[in-house]
Amino acid sequence: MIYLLKIFICILIVGLFLYSKLLPYKDRLNDKYKKLFNFFNTIFNPVLNFLKSVVKPFQVGQSLSVDMTQIVLLILLLLLINLFK
């Protein structure tokens, strides 16, 4: 059971990576990949919106900041994997 949970969290990590890369191009995806993108969107969108209210963007330069929500979510998922040993 724990092994399946670890696999699911790994799938979420890969999905988060693909989600972040494909988000700007979501309207140009094929139907097959659009369904997969929408699946991950239903998972990540509410979580990322909540994290945006908690975690503020990190200032890296003059008028330049980085959205830290995806990084925080990645760290949380990695910590979850370490919890289940």
pLDDT digits (tens, 9 = 90+) for 50-69: 999 999 999 999 989 999 99
Domain of residue 9 covers 2-55+66-83
Residue 61 CA, distance from chain mean position: 24
Residue 73 maps to a domain: yes
Residue 39 maps to a domain: yes
Predicted TM-score (pTM) of the model is 0.85
Residue 60 maps to a domain: no
Residue 84 pLDDT grade (very low, low, confident, very high; cuts 50, 70, 90): confident
Residue 61 maps to a domain: no
For the chain, the average pLDDT equals 93
Instruction: For residues 22 and 11, give the distance between their C-alpha atoms in angstroms, rounded to a whole number.
Output: 16
Number of folded domains in the chain?
1
